[in-house]
Structure 1
Amino acid sequence: MSTPEERLAALGLSVPEVAKPVAAYIPAVRSGNLVFTSGQLPMREGQLMATGKVGGEVSSEEAVACAQQCGLNALAAVRAELGDLSAVKRVVKVVCFVASTPDFTGQPAVANGVSELLGEVFGDAGRHARSAVGVPVLPLDAPVEVELIVEF
Protein backbone atom coordinates (compact mmCIF):
# COMPACT_ATOMS: atom_id res chain seq x y z
CA MET A 1 0.00 0.00 0.00
CA SER A 2 1.31 3.45 -0.85
CA THR A 3 1.96 6.25 1.63
CA PRO A 4 0.03 9.54 1.74
CA GLU A 5 3.03 11.34 0.22
CA GLU A 6 3.18 8.77 -2.61
CA ARG A 7 -0.53 9.27 -3.30
CA LEU A 8 0.03 13.04 -3.38
CA ALA A 9 2.93 12.59 -5.80
CA ALA A 10 0.68 10.48 -8.05
CA LEU A 11 -1.66 13.50 -8.16
CA GLY A 12 1.25 15.77 -9.09
CA LEU A 13 1.18 17.37 -5.63
CA SER A 14 3.46 17.50 -2.61
CA VAL A 15 3.31 18.69 0.97
CA PRO A 16 5.00 22.11 1.19
CA GLU A 17 7.06 23.48 4.03
CA VAL A 18 4.94 24.63 6.97
CA ALA A 19 3.55 28.11 6.26
CA LYS A 20 4.87 30.75 8.62
CA PRO A 21 2.18 32.03 11.00
CA VAL A 22 0.94 35.55 10.22
CA ALA A 23 0.26 36.35 13.92
CA ALA A 24 0.81 34.96 17.45
CA TYR A 25 -0.05 31.24 17.12
CA ILE A 26 1.52 27.94 16.13
CA PRO A 27 0.56 25.90 13.06
CA ALA A 28 -0.70 22.81 14.94
CA VAL A 29 -1.36 21.53 18.45
CA ARG A 30 -1.46 17.92 19.58
CA SER A 31 -3.95 17.01 22.31
CA GLY A 32 -4.45 13.37 23.25
CA ASN A 33 -4.64 11.45 19.97
CA LEU A 34 -5.77 14.47 17.92
CA VAL A 35 -3.94 17.19 16.00
CA PHE A 36 -5.72 20.52 15.53
CA THR A 37 -4.33 22.81 12.86
CA SER A 38 -4.56 26.55 12.90
CA GLY A 39 -6.41 28.05 9.98
CA GLN A 40 -4.30 27.71 6.85
CA LEU A 41 -4.42 30.24 4.04
CA PRO A 42 -3.78 29.45 0.35
CA MET A 43 -0.09 30.33 0.57
CA ARG A 44 2.18 28.96 -2.15
CA GLU A 45 5.89 29.79 -2.02
CA GLY A 46 5.24 32.53 0.53
CA GLN A 47 2.50 34.29 -1.45
CA LEU A 48 -1.28 34.10 -1.45
CA MET A 49 -2.58 32.37 -4.59
CA ALA A 50 -5.41 34.91 -4.84
CA THR A 51 -7.01 37.73 -2.89
CA GLY A 52 -10.55 39.03 -2.75
CA LYS A 53 -14.04 37.62 -2.47
CA VAL A 54 -15.33 34.45 -4.09
CA GLY A 55 -18.17 35.45 -6.37
CA GLY A 56 -16.37 38.75 -6.98
CA GLU A 57 -12.66 39.02 -7.78
CA VAL A 58 -12.09 35.28 -7.26
CA SER A 59 -13.84 32.64 -9.38
CA SER A 60 -15.26 29.44 -7.95
CA GLU A 61 -12.59 27.46 -9.79
CA GLU A 62 -9.80 29.59 -8.30
CA ALA A 63 -11.36 29.18 -4.86
CA VAL A 64 -11.43 25.38 -5.20
CA ALA A 65 -7.70 25.46 -6.05
CA CYS A 66 -7.13 27.73 -3.04
CA ALA A 67 -8.99 25.29 -0.78
CA GLN A 68 -6.79 22.46 -2.05
CA GLN A 69 -3.66 24.52 -1.29
CA CYS A 70 -5.00 25.30 2.17
CA GLY A 71 -5.41 21.55 2.65
CA LEU A 72 -1.82 20.91 1.58
CA ASN A 73 -0.64 23.58 4.01
CA ALA A 74 -2.70 22.00 6.80
CA LEU A 75 -1.16 18.61 5.98
CA ALA A 76 2.27 20.25 6.27
CA ALA A 77 1.38 21.39 9.79
CA VAL A 78 0.12 17.88 10.65
CA ARG A 79 3.28 16.27 9.26
CA ALA A 80 5.48 18.68 11.22
CA GLU A 81 3.63 17.70 14.40
CA LEU A 82 3.55 13.93 13.80
CA GLY A 83 6.69 13.46 11.72
CA ASP A 84 4.90 11.40 9.06
CA LEU A 85 1.47 11.59 7.43
CA SER A 86 1.27 7.79 7.61
CA ALA A 87 0.58 8.27 11.34
CA VAL A 88 -2.83 9.78 10.51
CA LYS A 89 -5.58 7.27 11.33
CA ARG A 90 -8.49 9.47 10.31
CA VAL A 91 -9.39 12.98 9.23
CA VAL A 92 -12.07 13.87 11.77
CA LYS A 93 -13.21 17.37 10.81
CA VAL A 94 -12.59 20.03 8.19
CA VAL A 95 -13.68 23.63 8.56
CA CYS A 96 -13.52 25.74 5.41
CA PHE A 97 -14.09 29.48 5.59
CA VAL A 98 -14.87 31.20 2.29
CA ALA A 99 -14.68 34.99 2.01
CA SER A 100 -17.52 35.56 -0.40
CA THR A 101 -19.86 38.13 -1.82
CA PRO A 102 -23.30 38.28 -0.14
CA ASP A 103 -24.99 36.49 -3.04
CA PHE A 104 -22.46 33.64 -3.33
CA THR A 105 -23.84 30.35 -1.99
CA GLY A 106 -21.32 27.84 -3.37
CA GLN A 107 -19.23 27.46 -0.21
CA PRO A 108 -19.73 23.65 -0.13
CA ALA A 109 -18.35 23.32 -3.68
CA VAL A 110 -15.30 25.41 -2.70
CA ALA A 111 -14.73 23.20 0.35
CA ASN A 112 -14.72 20.17 -1.95
CA GLY A 113 -11.24 21.34 -3.01
CA VAL A 114 -9.87 20.20 0.33
CA SER A 115 -12.35 17.36 0.96
CA GLU A 116 -11.61 15.62 -2.33
CA LEU A 117 -7.86 16.00 -1.74
CA LEU A 118 -8.14 14.32 1.67
CA GLY A 119 -10.18 11.50 0.18
CA GLU A 120 -7.52 10.91 -2.49
CA VAL A 121 -4.70 10.99 0.06
CA PHE A 122 -6.24 8.96 2.90
CA GLY A 123 -9.01 6.93 1.23
CA ASP A 124 -11.86 6.08 3.61
CA ALA A 125 -9.83 7.52 6.51
CA GLY A 126 -10.04 10.87 4.69
CA ARG A 127 -13.86 10.96 4.89
CA HIS A 128 -14.73 13.59 7.49
CA ALA A 129 -17.30 15.82 9.09
CA ARG A 130 -17.19 19.33 7.60
CA SER A 131 -18.38 22.88 7.85
CA ALA A 132 -18.25 25.26 4.87
CA VAL A 133 -18.87 28.80 6.09
CA GLY A 134 -19.23 32.04 4.16
CA VAL A 135 -17.58 35.02 5.83
CA PRO A 136 -17.15 38.68 4.86
CA VAL A 137 -13.33 38.81 5.09
CA LEU A 138 -10.34 36.62 5.99
CA PRO A 139 -6.77 37.50 7.02
CA LEU A 140 -4.68 39.20 4.33
CA ASP A 141 -7.84 39.33 2.13
CA ALA A 142 -7.45 35.60 1.43
CA PRO A 143 -10.46 34.00 -0.27
CA VAL A 144 -10.28 30.70 1.67
CA GLU A 145 -9.03 29.42 5.02
CA VAL A 146 -9.04 25.78 6.15
CA GLU A 147 -8.45 24.03 9.45
CA LEU A 148 -8.24 20.31 10.14
CA ILE A 149 -8.67 17.96 13.06
CA VAL A 150 -6.99 14.60 12.54
CA GLU A 151 -6.69 11.48 14.70
CA PHE A 152 -3.38 9.66 14.93
Structure 2
Amino acid sequence: MAVALGATTSVISRSPAKAADARRLGAHAFVLSTDPEQLAQARDTFDVVIDTVSTPHDLGPYLRLVAMDGTLSSLGHLGPVTVETMDLLLGRKRLSSAGSGGRPATAAMLEFCAANGITAEIELLPSARVNEALDRLGRNDVRYRFVLDLSDLN
Protein backbone atom coordinates (compact mmCIF):
# COMPACT_ATOMS: atom_id res chain seq x y z
CA MET A 1 0.00 0.00 0.00
CA ALA A 2 2.84 2.36 0.83
CA VAL A 3 4.37 1.83 -2.61
CA ALA A 4 1.00 2.57 -4.25
CA LEU A 5 0.89 5.81 -2.24
CA GLY A 6 4.32 6.77 -3.61
CA ALA A 7 6.40 6.13 -0.50
CA THR A 8 9.93 4.78 -0.52
CA THR A 9 9.50 1.55 1.39
CA SER A 10 11.65 -0.99 3.17
CA VAL A 11 10.71 -4.31 4.68
CA ILE A 12 12.17 -5.27 8.05
CA SER A 13 12.02 -9.00 8.74
CA ARG A 14 13.74 -11.64 10.84
CA SER A 15 13.55 -14.04 7.87
CA PRO A 16 15.98 -13.61 4.97
CA ALA A 17 13.64 -15.81 2.91
CA LYS A 18 11.23 -12.86 2.67
CA ALA A 19 13.68 -10.55 0.87
CA ALA A 20 12.70 -11.68 -2.65
CA ASP A 21 8.99 -11.36 -1.84
CA ALA A 22 9.56 -7.90 -0.38
CA ARG A 23 11.17 -6.70 -3.59
CA ARG A 24 8.54 -8.44 -5.75
CA LEU A 25 5.86 -6.54 -3.82
CA GLY A 26 7.63 -3.21 -4.45
CA ALA A 27 9.92 -2.65 -1.47
CA HIS A 28 12.97 -0.56 -2.28
CA ALA A 29 15.10 -2.13 0.47
CA PHE A 30 15.18 -5.04 2.91
CA VAL A 31 16.57 -5.03 6.47
CA LEU A 32 17.25 -8.32 8.21
CA SER A 33 16.35 -7.64 11.85
CA THR A 34 18.51 -10.50 13.10
CA ASP A 35 21.65 -8.97 11.54
CA PRO A 36 23.24 -6.41 13.92
CA GLU A 37 25.19 -4.77 11.07
CA GLN A 38 22.05 -4.19 8.99
CA LEU A 39 20.23 -2.79 12.03
CA ALA A 40 23.15 -0.46 12.75
CA GLN A 41 23.15 0.79 9.13
CA ALA A 42 19.39 1.44 9.26
CA ARG A 43 19.47 3.23 12.64
CA ASP A 44 17.69 6.61 12.67
CA THR A 45 16.72 6.40 8.98
CA PHE A 46 12.95 5.80 8.81
CA ASP A 47 10.31 8.51 9.09
CA VAL A 48 7.70 5.87 9.91
CA VAL A 49 8.05 2.25 10.96
CA ILE A 50 4.82 0.24 10.85
CA ASP A 51 5.17 -2.66 13.25
CA THR A 52 3.01 -5.61 12.17
CA VAL A 53 4.56 -8.19 14.52
CA SER A 54 1.60 -9.94 16.13
CA THR A 55 3.28 -11.31 19.25
CA PRO A 56 4.82 -9.57 22.26
CA HIS A 57 8.30 -8.26 21.43
CA ASP A 58 10.81 -5.58 22.37
CA LEU A 59 9.95 -2.29 20.65
CA GLY A 60 13.42 -0.84 21.33
CA PRO A 61 15.16 -2.11 18.18
CA TYR A 62 12.36 -0.70 16.03
CA LEU A 63 12.34 2.66 17.82
CA ARG A 64 16.07 2.92 17.17
CA LEU A 65 15.36 2.64 13.42
CA VAL A 66 13.05 5.67 13.52
CA ALA A 67 14.59 9.00 12.47
CA MET A 68 14.30 12.28 14.38
CA ASP A 69 10.65 13.29 14.81
CA GLY A 70 9.62 9.92 13.35
CA THR A 71 6.97 7.47 14.49
CA LEU A 72 6.79 3.80 15.34
CA SER A 73 3.19 2.70 14.79
CA SER A 74 2.07 -0.64 16.18
CA LEU A 75 -0.76 -2.37 14.31
CA GLY A 76 -1.34 -5.29 16.62
CA HIS A 77 -2.32 -5.91 20.22
CA LEU A 78 0.88 -6.75 22.06
CA GLY A 79 -0.48 -6.76 25.58
CA PRO A 80 1.55 -4.81 28.14
CA VAL A 81 4.77 -3.34 26.72
CA THR A 82 7.76 -1.73 28.33
CA VAL A 83 9.52 1.07 26.50
CA GLU A 84 12.89 2.53 27.39
CA THR A 85 12.05 6.24 27.45
CA MET A 86 15.50 7.15 26.11
CA ASP A 87 14.53 5.34 22.88
CA LEU A 88 11.77 7.96 22.58
CA LEU A 89 13.58 11.00 23.96
CA LEU A 90 16.67 10.69 21.78
CA GLY A 91 15.35 11.96 18.48
CA ARG A 92 11.93 13.13 19.68
CA LYS A 93 10.35 9.88 18.51
CA ARG A 94 6.70 8.94 18.83
CA LEU A 95 5.02 5.64 19.55
CA SER A 96 1.50 5.27 18.19
CA SER A 97 -1.06 2.63 17.39
CA ALA A 98 -3.31 2.35 14.39
CA GLY A 99 -6.44 1.45 16.29
CA SER A 100 -9.44 0.56 14.19
CA GLY A 101 -10.56 2.63 11.25
CA GLY A 102 -14.16 1.46 11.41
CA ARG A 103 -16.40 0.70 8.46
CA PRO A 104 -15.91 3.87 6.38
CA ALA A 105 -12.11 3.72 6.60
CA THR A 106 -12.11 -0.02 5.87
CA ALA A 107 -14.34 0.52 2.83
CA ALA A 108 -12.04 3.30 1.57
CA MET A 109 -9.00 1.06 2.07
CA LEU A 110 -10.60 -1.79 0.14
CA GLU A 111 -11.55 0.58 -2.69
CA PHE A 112 -7.94 1.83 -2.80
CA CYS A 113 -6.65 -1.75 -2.89
CA ALA A 114 -9.04 -2.69 -5.69
CA ALA A 115 -8.09 0.38 -7.73
CA ASN A 116 -4.38 -0.38 -7.31
CA GLY A 117 -4.44 -4.17 -7.72
CA ILE A 118 -3.39 -4.78 -4.14
CA THR A 119 -4.25 -8.22 -2.80
CA ALA A 120 -3.36 -10.19 0.32
CA GLU A 121 -0.65 -12.84 0.31
CA ILE A 122 -2.49 -15.83 1.81
CA GLU A 123 -2.65 -19.60 1.77
CA LEU A 124 -6.24 -20.81 1.38
CA LEU A 125 -7.23 -24.05 3.11
CA PRO A 126 -10.63 -25.77 3.39
CA SER A 127 -11.96 -25.54 6.93
CA ALA A 128 -11.68 -29.35 7.25
CA ARG A 129 -7.89 -28.80 7.41
CA VAL A 130 -8.04 -26.47 10.42
CA ASN A 131 -5.95 -28.84 12.56
CA GLU A 132 -3.23 -28.88 9.90
CA ALA A 133 -3.30 -25.08 9.84
CA LEU A 134 -2.97 -24.93 13.64
CA ASP A 135 -0.09 -27.43 13.62
CA ARG A 136 1.72 -25.47 10.92
CA LEU A 137 1.14 -22.19 12.76
CA GLY A 138 2.76 -23.78 15.82
CA ARG A 139 5.80 -24.70 13.69
CA ASN A 140 5.91 -21.21 12.09
CA ASP A 141 5.33 -22.93 8.75
CA VAL A 142 2.96 -20.51 7.07
CA ARG A 143 3.72 -18.06 4.30
CA TYR A 144 2.10 -14.86 5.62
CA ARG A 145 -1.49 -15.83 6.57
CA PHE A 146 -3.87 -18.77 6.44
CA VAL A 147 -7.46 -18.24 5.37
CA LEU A 148 -9.94 -21.01 6.06
CA ASP A 149 -12.55 -21.50 3.35
CA LEU A 150 -15.81 -22.25 5.17
CA SER A 151 -17.71 -23.32 2.04
CA ASP A 152 -17.20 -26.98 3.00
CA LEU A 153 -19.40 -26.53 6.09
CA ASN A 154 -23.11 -27.28 6.01
Please confirm whether the aligned pair reaches a TM-score higher than 0.5, indicating the same fold.
no
Higher relative contact order (CA 8 A, sep 6+): 1
TM-score by length of 1: 0.28
Bigger radius of gyration among the two: 2
TM-score by length of 2: 0.28
